């Protein structure tokens, strides 16, 4: 089997597309600002995958002309959105000092690691509270049986919601399973049992 690699630069050269050079870190910052501003979302610039199919030409310059004639304001609107976000990021960067960086590292490395890996206690508490029951974490010997804790003295397993579609992974686990999914706001908990 033959494997070849085409670099971005080679592709641009082959398609006769101009090369932009950006100073170090600027492209990353513009990309971050764009993500936050959502400047290149389809509602702002159009659904590009559909537009490129609709485009009747073959060359890049034809594509540029076609797009700018069809949507003369879209690029400028995107630039404004990103420029406004760059100003906000600049303001935020100016507030960052060594103390804030240390707090951020502690939050990520220690707090988020601990809560991300030890959230079973919080899940057990929340579900036990729902049942007005007591709870406890499992011992190491219970964990090998898939028991993460107890609610009202009943063995409980806590698994990601992806386990729902993998029946084989559920075999041998306690009959009471709490499924969870993580989001930016926290953890969504789902269960279908009574205590």
Residues paired with residue 156 on neighbouring β-strands, in sequence order: 149
Q: What is the mean pLDDT of residues 95-112?
A: 94
Give the DSSP H or E segment for 163: none
Residues 113-131 have pLDDT tens digits of 887 768 899 999 999 999 9
d(CA 186, CA 160): 13
Residue 44, sorted as left (phi over 0), alpha (psi -120 to 50) or beta, turns out to be alpha
d(CA 58, CA 38): 29
d(CA 155, CA 176): 7
Structure tokens at 94: 């100016």
Beta strands in the chain (DSSP E): 135-137, 149-151, 154-160, 177-183, 186-191
pTM comes to 0.65
Residues 43-101 have pLDDT tens digits of 999 999 999 999 999 999 999 999 999 999 999 999 999 999 999 999 999 999 999 99
| DSSP tag of 139 | P
């Amino acid at each position: 089997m033959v494997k070849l690699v085409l670099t971005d630069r080679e592709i641009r050269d082959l398609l006769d597309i101009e090369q932009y050079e950006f100073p170090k870190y600027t492209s990353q910052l513009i990309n971050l600002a764009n993500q936050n501003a959502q400047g290149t979302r389809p509602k702002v610039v159009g659904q590009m995958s559909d537009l490129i199919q609709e485009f009747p030409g073959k060359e890049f310059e034809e594509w540029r002309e076609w797009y700018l004639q069809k949507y003369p304001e879209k690029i400028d609107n995107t630039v404004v959105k990103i420029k406004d976000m760059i100003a906000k990021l600049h303001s935020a960067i100016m507030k960052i000092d060594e103390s804030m960086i240390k707090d951020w590292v502690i939050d990520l490395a220690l707090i988020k690691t601990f809560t991300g890996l030890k959230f079973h206690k919080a899940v057990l508490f929340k579900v036990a509270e729902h049942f007005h029951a007591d709870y406890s974490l499992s011992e190491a010997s219970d964990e090998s049986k898939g028991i993460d804790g107890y609610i009202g003295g009943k063995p409980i397993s806590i698994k990601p919601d992806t386990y729902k579609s993998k029946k084989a992974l559920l075999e041998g686990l306690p009959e009471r399973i709490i499924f969870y999914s993580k989001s930016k706001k926290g953890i969504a908990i789902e269960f279908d049992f009574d205590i």
